[in-house]
Each structure stands twice: as structure tokens, then as C-alpha cells.
Structure 1
Amino acid sequence: MAEAAARALDTIDVTPFTAADAAVYEARFAGVPTQDMLAELLGGELKGRIAAVSSFGAESAVLLHMIARVDRDVPVIFTNTQKMFGETLEYRDALSEQLGLTDLRVYRPDPRILAAKDANGLRWSYDPDGCCEIRKVEPLRRALLPFDAWISGRKGFQSKTRIGIPRFEIDEGRLKLNPLADWDKARLDAYFEMHELPRHPLEADGYPSIGCKPCTSKVLPGEDPRAGRWRGWDKVECGIHLPTRPGEEPVF
């Protein structure tokens, strides 16, 4: 079966990727440890074609550490919405330095778009979807233009809309990898401890999921880990991650 999957990969176009391509990768790496999967892909057919996208949030250090163990030169994209916690920016810089990341790319909102659609900086308070679109989604689209594939840090346990996400999927013609899709909190915590990775400073203060400062609140015991994101709004994603299952609506 592995040989058949490998032969099928030979027929995959460089770009754009298709759902069939994602299925081939999913079959090829079924049961393969995460670190081994990343080593094969980042050092193989996706080398030079892929970037990692990181929020430098509460759990980001695990995936970034795994990527750095393979290739510290893999581009890491961070979208600075200009609404971030100061602690996140400090953590980003410290963690990048510790891991030896050589290609951190910071993208910001287009100032012309901000002037036209969020001149007073308060769009988050009445239209969080629109705010995410101009401050996060649009900058990321620009950042990903040179790449055929990208790496996401999503995990299935984080929210109801992420349960059962695959390791490989398609996003706007690009192959998107979710290497930690099946990792749970205990496994992440064990990895932090084993490799002595620094924690995001806000995690200990009750922020298991950290986004922009105006739209992130503390999470109470027993709540969904992402319950503090856009609290009070019918919104669970920023719009970067499109729905993969029937019944889930895009959040743009």
C-alpha cells in the first residue's frame, strides 16, 4: 500500500493541489509519527515550497520546535493584526531566538484597507468577522503567495469545529498540513516538559487560547479551550481556517 501511495504521489501536479492529492498524503502518512512525517516532507518534495503559519500562542512552541529540528530555515509566518497582546510579541521574539528560526516573516494589515474599513480601530467591537478579514485573513493571503503548501497548528481537541480534522487538507489550492491534528493536551504538555520549552506567559493567567487582545478573554474551568475567543459572538474561527465538514459555515 505504501508503494502504491508513493507511486500516486508521482502524478501530483506541483500546484494547485487537489482533494485527491490530500487523500494520497493522508494515506501515505497514516500511522507515521509526526516528527518523521515532517522530516520526510520538509526535507523532501515540499522543501522550499512550504511555510509554517504560527500565532505564537499557548501551544505553538511544540510544532515550531518540531519544525526547527528538521529545518530552521523553513519560513515561519506571523500575522501581526496590530491588536495583539504585548506578551505574544515578546514570546514570539524569545521563542524564535531560542529555536534558532532564521526566516520569521511578519505581515501586517494593509494600511490603505485599514483607513477605508477600520479607521478608528474599533471594527472588532461591532463586526469581528470583518475585522479578522482585514487584519488577519488578507495579510495571510499575501504572505502565502510564494508557497504551494503551509503548516497549521490546529488540533482536534481545541473546539467542536476542529474535531476529526485530517492531517492533510486543501485550502485555496494549497496543501495544508495539520501535523498535530490528533494530539491531545496531555501529549502537548508532555512534549513541553520533555524539551523544556517556554510557555506563553498568558497561559498561566487563564488563557489557553490566545488571539487578539480585544477579542480574547479568560477561560473558566470546564469550558472549551477556545471559549474565550470572541466571547458573546457566534464566531469560533478567524476565517483563516475554512470549514471542512458539511454544515460548517465560513466565517468571513
Structure 2
Amino acid sequence: MLDQTLDARAARLNDRYRHHAATEVLRRALRDPDLGSTTLVSSFGAESVVLLHMVSVVAPGTPVLFIDTMMLFQETLDYQLDVTQKLGLTDVRVIRATEREVALNDPDGTLHQFNTDACCDFRKTVPLERELSKFDAWITGRKRFQGGERQQLEFFESEPPSRLRINPLAHWRPQDVQDYMAENNLPRHPLVAKGYASIGCAPCTSPIKPGEDPRAGRWRGSQKTECGIHFIGGRMVRAGAKA
């Protein structure tokens, strides 16, 4: 009998797809019975359109989870609608904290000013986990060049206790991302032209200066680098600009 632990499943999938390119990894993975039900989580941020386009080509009915923190830039909300329509994505699910969660945690909308971790937790991490619990695997845009523990990133990885992650762009370089967007004439997030390289909530995101790390504009002036979404088993899996 095959070892069915998460790590063993991830290793088996990595061996199976080791020599495939990103689009083929995605195409085949979405049909692989070893993965089960799969969703794409997208921020509709600066580089999100790459994976969204790939999904639209190989399986436009794939569920796409978009977290609306209710503190996003209006440009992001407009971009989400525009990209969804242009790419023909048919199952984009907008997820949010419940009214009760907002009333309990942040009734006056100022939590981000004194506890960013708590704000991210109830606005992003909790709603996402609620939706992800319905799936066996999810697709991310994480890449090796982003540094930290991602330098050894594989196409598939385990997420205890019961999910797998799919990282089709794991081996891409920064220029690969830009080339793909240009070659496919994909719409850019309007804030990129204004100096925003990594785009999150409006109160906690600022443009970057030339030469700065792309994530330097997130929670500027603090040691925070993660919203909590990219933690596995309680461990941060991406080291950002301030790590």
C-alpha cells in the first residue's frame, strides 16, 4: 500500500512532474486524482494575473478565492472585476470576514493602527481558512526567487494537517513573470505604474523606492512581513523585505 502521508504525496507528485513547465504542471495537476478538489487563491495583485491567465486557459471553471478585507484599494476591486471578465473566469468567490467578526474585532476600523497581526488574522487568515477547508489542495504564486525558505520550493508541498499546495511558478525568475505578462498582453494592476510592487490593504501599503525589495512597501516602518496566509504548521515560509 502506498504511503498516504502528506509529505509522501507531495514527494510523489514532485517526482511525477519534475520536468514539466509551469502551465503543464497546472494543467495536469488540476486533473490529477492524487490532488482532489483544488482552488486558486488570488489577491489580484501586481503579478496575480499570470496564474489567473494560466487557469483561464487550462480550466476556467476552477474556483478562485479572492479575499476582500474591506480595506483594499478601490483600484484592486476594479481590477478584480476587469480581469475576471477579460479572462472569462467563471467561479471567482469573494470571501470576507462576517459582519459579526467585524463588529467583535474592529467596530471602528482602526485595529490596523495598533495591531496589524490581529487585523490580518480576522480579515484574511480566518476567512481564507474557512473556505480552504472545503478543498484538498490550493494553488499559490510562490516562487524560489522570493528568498528565505522559498529558495528550495518545489511544485508541490504539504500543508498540515490535510492539504497540499501547488506552486506552478516555483522555478520562475522575475523576468519570466514580466515576459509572460507582456507576451500574453495581460492587463496590469493600475497601482504598479504608481510604484506599488506588492499590493495589499490601502492603509498598510505604500509605493517603493528604486532598489528597494518589492515587499518593502508592505507595513512600512514595522517588522511585520506577512499577513499570516503563508504560514505552514505555525512557521513563516516567506522571508520578506524586513526579515
Which of the numbers 108, 132, 137 marks the counterpart of 1:149? 137
Q: CA deviation at 1:216?
A: 0.6
Partner of 1:100: 88
Alignment of 1:116-127 (within 5 A): 116-127=104-115
Partner of 1:39: 27
2:27 corresponds to which letter in structure 1?
A: A
Whether 2:209 is the aligned partner of 1:220: answer yes
Whether 2:166 is the aligned partner of 1:199: answer no
Q: Any idea what SS the aligned residue of 1:176 has?
A: strand
> Hey, what's the Cα distance between the residues in 2 that align with 1:120 and 1:47?
42
Partner of 2:171: 182
> Hey, what's the Cα distance between the residues in 2 that align with 1:12 and 1:119?
48
CA deviation map 1:139-178 (0-9, x unaligned): 1011112210000112233354543332211223200111
**What are the ranges of 5 or more consecutive residues in structure 2 without an aligned counterpart?**
none
Whether 2:101 is the aligned partner of 1:113: answer yes
> Hey, what's the Cα distance between the residues in 2 that align with 1:47 and 1:246?
23
> Hey, what's the Cα distance between the residues in 2 that align with 1:249 and 1:191?
23
Q: CA deviation at 1:192?
A: 0.7
> Hey, what's the Cα distance between the residues in 2 that align with 1:249 and 1:31?
25
> Hey, what's the Cα distance between the residues in 2 that align with 1:245 and 1:20?
20
- The alpha-carbon distance between structure 1 residues 44 and 107, as it changes in their structure 2 partners (threshold 3 A), is same
- The alpha-carbon distance between structure 1 residues 246 and 122, as it changes in their structure 2 partners (threshold 3 A), is closer
**What are the ranges of 5 or more consecutive residues in structure 1 without an aligned counterpart?**
1-9
Q: CA deviation at 1:47?
A: 7.6
TM-score, L = length of structure 1? 0.87
> Contact 2:230/2:237 (CA < 8 Å) preserved in 1?
no
> Hey, what's the Cα distance between the residues in 2 that align with 1:58 and 1:247?
22
> Contact 1:156/1:163 (CA < 8 Å) preserved in 2?
yes
Identity over aligned pairs, percent: 45
Whether 2:218 is the aligned partner of 1:229: answer yes
> Contact 1:206/1:219 (CA < 8 Å) preserved in 2?
yes
Whether 2:12 is the aligned partner of 1:24: answer yes
Query: Cα RMSD between the aligned structures?
Result: 2.3
Partner of 2:227: 238
2:184 corresponds to which letter in structure 1?
A: H
- The alpha-carbon distance between structure 1 residues 220 and 69, as it changes in their structure 2 partners (threshold 3 A), is same
- The alpha-carbon distance between structure 1 residues 248 and 72, as it changes in their structure 2 partners (threshold 3 A), is closer
> Contact 1:154/1:162 (CA < 8 Å) preserved in 2?
yes
- The alpha-carbon distance between structure 1 residues 100 and 223, as it changes in their structure 2 partners (threshold 3 A), is same
> Hey, what's the Cα distance between the residues in 1 that align with 2:119 and 2:192?
24
> Hey, what's the Cα distance between the residues in 2 that align with 1:150 and 1:247?
17
> Contact 1:159/1:226 (CA < 8 Å) preserved in 2?
no
> Contact 1:46/1:149 (CA < 8 Å) preserved in 2?
no
> Hey, what's the Cα distance between the residues in 1 that align with 2:236 and 2:51?
29
2:180 corresponds to which letter in structure 1?
A: Y
> Contact 2:50/2:177 (CA < 8 Å) preserved in 1?
yes
Partner of 1:3: none
Partner of 1:4: none
Q: CA deviation at 1:27?
A: 2.0
> Contact 1:158/1:226 (CA < 8 Å) preserved in 2?
no
Greater shift, 156-165 or 61-70, is seen at: 156-165
Q: Any idea what SS the aligned residue of 1:115 has?
A: helix
